[in-house]
Structure 1
């Protein structure tokens, strides 16, 4: 296992997933105080990232499951989840209920986290495919292994930020507003950058 390939894999993962730390911190904050919520966030992150890896590996072997023109439309997933979370937060505020939708439901769901991770990774797929295609099977396995280890590091970082007193207090106070804004922003960015709907 070449140290050079490991270093490249670490760098590639960090560059393509830096925005995931904020999203993970928001999800961990939404699940604070709910039994099993942290495990669901981690499981959702792994599920979503395994989807990204599966598509990237398949594409590198020439069997693209998702045609390239479809990738920008993945932005509809976080956009829809963001609108749903924003609507619920507004409804709770209007009804005078201090709890957010995530608090009612026991925190984020595995499939919601996975959907956001996968949709946010549409650009990752575009970066990983040429790297995997030229790397060969052995190196591709190294990349995949390093990426999966780093998902755990990213989850730990997201949880760390979500549990720092100052950050946790801010996320507790504003997370129900920030999460929908971030999700809608990610969705719009994916749609616009990918030229979906002729944008």
Structure 2
């Protein structure tokens, strides 16, 4: 049981390092908007849940797509980063859209999609791990993943409370977000071997 706990913690940390920057940027960007933290948390949990379900299905022999195709998800953050780079910060337009649409769903789904796009490495680790665990160890591992996700979210939210960090991220967001998302996209493509298709 101790080895299962250690294995779950180590694999979660190893596959979640890329989420730290993404979540800090999201928490910083939306720190002034009500319910944004809840939306980010729900979106992140939705993304993790989908990754776990896909990993479980694959571990039980239901994976129909080669690992290289999973890397194609890397194009999603690349597109988002390039969009921010070329279109810039459109606060007025964003406020109009926010007022006329259900922003909760938009932010919630955006975070979930980003979480999925950054989760290619999660699949590469979770699938072999899940296929080697007993039912009890599998349930324990998934429980630990959800606890670790809460800790990750709390740490990222706390990092934005550091004086000046939030304002600095906002000030340089137009440069930080594209760089992080494009780099993340290349990392996902590279780690999954998609660039060699």
> TM (normalized to structure 1)?
0.86
Tell me the alpha carbon deviations over residues 34-70 of structure 1, each in whole angstroms, 9 at most, x when there is no partner.
1111111111111111111111111111111543231
Q: In structure 2, list runs of 5 or more residues that go unmatched.
A: none
Q: Which residue of 2 aligns with 1:47?
A: 46
- Shift in Å, 1:192: 3.2
- Shift in Å, 1:173: 1.2
In the alignment, the residues of structure 2 paired with residue 51 and residue 101 of structure 1 have an alpha-carbon distance, to the nearest angstrom, of 31
Q: Which residue of 1 aligns with 2:154?
A: 156
In the alignment, the residues of structure 2 paired with residue 101 and residue 186 of structure 1 have an alpha-carbon distance, to the nearest angstrom, of 27
Q: Which residue of 2 aligns with 1:144?
A: 142
In the alignment, the residues of structure 1 paired with residue 70 and residue 188 of structure 2 have an alpha-carbon distance, to the nearest angstrom, of 9
1:30 touches 1:176 (CA, 8 Å); kept in 2? no
The residue matched to 1:34 in structure 2 has which SS? Answer: coil
> TM (normalized to structure 2)?
0.87
Moved more, 80-89 or 39-48: 80-89
Q: Which residue of 1 aligns with 2:86?
A: 87
Superposition RMSD in Å:
2.2
In the alignment, the residues of structure 1 paired with residue 73 and residue 48 of structure 2 have an alpha-carbon distance, to the nearest angstrom, of 14
Q: Which residue of 1 aligns with 2:70?
A: 71
Q: In structure 1, list runs of 5 or more residues that go unmatched.
A: 93-98
